[in-house]
Amino acid sequence: METYGLEKLGIFTSNTVHRNLGPAQLTEAALRRGEGKLSNTGALVVTTGKYTGRSPNDKFIVDTPAVHDDIAWGKVNCPISKEKFDAIKDKVCAYLNDREIFIFDGFAGADPKHTKKFRVVNEMASQNLFIHQLLIRPTADELAAYGEADYTILAAPGFKCDPAVDGVNSEAAIMIDYEAHLIVICGSQYSGEIKKSVFSTMNYVLTKEGVLPMHCSANMDPETNETAVFFGLSGTGKTTLSADANRKLIGDDEHGWSDDGIFNMEGGCYAKCINLKEENEPEIYHAIRFGALVENVVMDDATREFDFDDDSLTENTRVGYPIDFISNAAIPGVGGTPKVVIFLTADAFGVLPPISRLDENAAMYHFVTGFTSKLAGTERGITEPQPTFSTLFGEPFMPMDPSVYAEMLGKRIEESKAKVYLVNTGWSGGPYGVGSRMKLKFTRAMVTAALTGDFDKVEYKHHDVFNVDVPQSCPNVPDEIMNPRETWADKAAYDAQANRLADMFSNNFAKKYPNMPAHIAAAGPKSK
């Protein structure tokens, strides 16, 4: 029986080892094993238990001499010794012995110059379905010639760590050994841990190849092929705004920017489902069909219909599906050099302009700062929006020093002459709990204006507190929406809240980036 190199890891299974089963076979296996149920659309529906989001306190990087000086060690990139990693890895391999194993051999990186081979070993058929749909799927010929993988991931949610014995923080552990090209994920069934481990690996490897790895979505004009990228944390609108029926979708979350242009790292999408409505997000809504994996969305057992508004399990409800479920997907997922760069933020204070133009220095400031509000459910323990500063709009997945990525982006923007905008998809008319979330139709209209060049023809007004230029009009958007102060009934309360947020920007920047060049530091908000 072919074991596909598992014996090298100490996995000696006498049971079945499945390799690259299709969606129908994996769905059938998951149902047979009691891992989930079918919805009335044919999608496989699972619940993931106590872990319904990423668990950042359980993420580790193996500290070895070969990588030690490359990693920005700290609260985000936590070290674990090689000895502890190997001990847990050996236990996970022993746990997988004599179990039914599901393997997916796929690719990350749509540009052949930078493609990496990932072998994902799952104990659960449902998780294997997920990663089958999320990575780039090999053709029959590519699979036959696949050979050894560049990186291997072991995903065993049924194995629980013992913190007292294993030297970790809980029953879950997400560990990357860059030198050994091995990732171990145990204790958590949340499939996003697998996806983000691939991303974290690529964010280390691609940088060594001169490619800027980006936590962003991307799309392009179907006629001109002009490309745009959308940076932002989970919940800020990357997937929603890039899934534009008038443009080709390159990808919804993870890309590389090389000398040749941009490319998707993935072959699928992982979209949030909370409050999903067909009229607002038709592309995502119709992607929830046979072959998709739905996580933690409440479903009526009798009718098998979804209740997308029910957040009783989590607000971080998700669906994973192959990108070709989107009718206007760009396949393969490659695009040209971006002409427009958009930073997305969800401001729970309700004071940032809905869209503002950034010069090169301000672009660097906001890229490094990465302000948004963590939205409920994206991480364990987050129950309402909380203001946060996530370096590079993806700090949890960036292992190297932020300056490495920031300098690469600055160079790319300078070379491409790309226009940069900061878009607030958060609150207007007041803070969270008082104001209301920015209407999606208005945000779409503003993004469209940025992409089509309409903002090149309008008047701008400088916002003295946030130090950005705000367009005063936009097609299909009421003028008063463009200036956030005008949406507040109490103008003095707006001023106080704006100054408070500006101080948060300043304090965060001074603390985290004391050595940043003065011209970048000066481009940020300033309270009055």
Burial class (CB in 10 A: 0-12, 13-18, 19+), 331: middle
pTM: 0.90
Q: Which of the two residues, 334 and 407, has the higher pLDDT score?
A: 334
Q: Which of 59, 195, 238, 357 is catalytic?
A: 238
Highest mean pLDDT among 7-11, 221-225, 493-497: 493-497
Residue 358 and residue 309 share a domain? no
What whole-number distance in Å separates Cα of residue 203 and Cα of residue 392? 12
Q: Which of 55, 234, 240, 487 is catalytic?
A: 234
Query: Which pLDDT tens digit goes with each residue over 220-229?
Result: 999 998 999 9
Residue 287 and residue 358 share a domain? no
Strand runs (DSSP E) across 159-237, as ranges? 173-177, 182-186, 212-220, 227-231
In the chain, the number of structural domains is: 3
Residue 438 and residue 310 share a domain? no
Query: Structural domain of residue 365, as residue ranges?
Result: 337-521
54 an active-site residue?
yes
CATH of the domain at 64: 3.40.449.10
Residue 134 and residue 30 share a domain? yes
Residue 169 and residue 30 share a domain? yes
| In the predicted structure, residue 12 carries a pLDDT above the cut 80 | no
Q: Which of 247, 253, 347, 356 is catalytic?
A: 253
Query: Which pLDDT tens digit goes with each residue over 339-368?
Result: 999 999 999 899 999 999 999 899 999 999
215 an active-site residue?
yes
Which whole number is the average pLDDT over 265-290? 94
Q: Which of 215, 247, 380, 412 is catalytic?
A: 215
Residue 509 and residue 427 share a domain? yes
CATH of the domain at 397: 3.90.228.20
- The verdict on residue 257 lying in a domain is no
461 an active-site residue?
no
Residue 483 and residue 348 share a domain? yes
Q: How far is CA 337 from CA 51, 145, 453, 485, in A?
A: 38, 32, 17, 36
Query: Which pLDDT tens digit goes with each residue over 472-493?
Result: 999 999 999 999 999 999 999 9
Residue 169 and residue 105 share a domain? yes
Residue 371 and residue 316 share a domain? no
Q: Which of 117, 196, 255, 374 is catalytic?
A: 196
Query: Which pLDDT tens digit goes with each residue over 120-139?
Result: 999 999 999 999 999 999 99
**What local confidence, expressed as pLDDT, does residue 381 receive?**
62
Q: For residue 109, which of 200, 202, 182 has the smallest C-alpha distance?
A: 202
Q: Is 428 helix (H, G, I), strand (E, B) or coil?
A: strand
- The verdict on residue 241 lying in a domain is no
Spell out the alpha helix ranges (H) of 135-226: 140-144, 163-166, 192-208
Q: Which helix (H) or strand (E) holds 369?
A: helix 360-369
- The verdict on residue 169 lying in a domain is yes
| In the predicted structure, residue 372 carries a pLDDT above the cut 60 | yes
**What local confidence, expressed as pLDDT, does residue 58 receive?**
98
| In the predicted structure, residue 172 carries a pLDDT above the cut 70 | yes
The overall average pLDDT reported for the chain is 94
- The verdict on residue 332 lying in a domain is no
Contact between 231 and 367 under an 8 Å Cβ cutoff? The reply is yes
Which whole number is the average pLDDT over 200-210? 97
Q: Which of 39, 48, 54, 105 is catalytic?
A: 54
272 an active-site residue?
no
| In the predicted structure, residue 444 carries a pLDDT above the cut 60 | yes
What whole-number distance in Å separates Cα of residue 413 and Cα of residue 419? 8
196 an active-site residue?
yes
318 an active-site residue?
yes
Query: Which pLDDT tens digit goes with each residue over 315-330?
Result: 999 999 999 999 999 9
Q: For residue 343, which of 334, 333, 355 has the smallest C-alpha distance?
A: 355
- The verdict on residue 515 lying in a domain is yes
Which whole number is the average pLDDT over 239-259? 92
**What local confidence, expressed as pLDDT, does residue 233 receive?**
82
Residue 175 and residue 64 share a domain? yes
481-506: burial string, b at 16+ Cβ within 10 Å, e else: bbebeebbeeeeebbebbbebbebbe
Domain boundary among 181, 208, 235: 208
CATH of the domain at 312: 2.170.8.10
**What local confidence, expressed as pLDDT, does residue 141 receive?**
97
Q: Which of 318, 339, 366, 419 is catalytic?
A: 318
- The verdict on residue 263 lying in a domain is no
- The verdict on residue 120 lying in a domain is yes
Residue 191 and residue 298 share a domain? no
**What local confidence, expressed as pLDDT, does residue 430 receive?**
93
Residue 444 and residue 342 share a domain? yes
Query: Which pLDDT tens digit goes with each residue over 403-415?
Result: 899 889 989 999 9
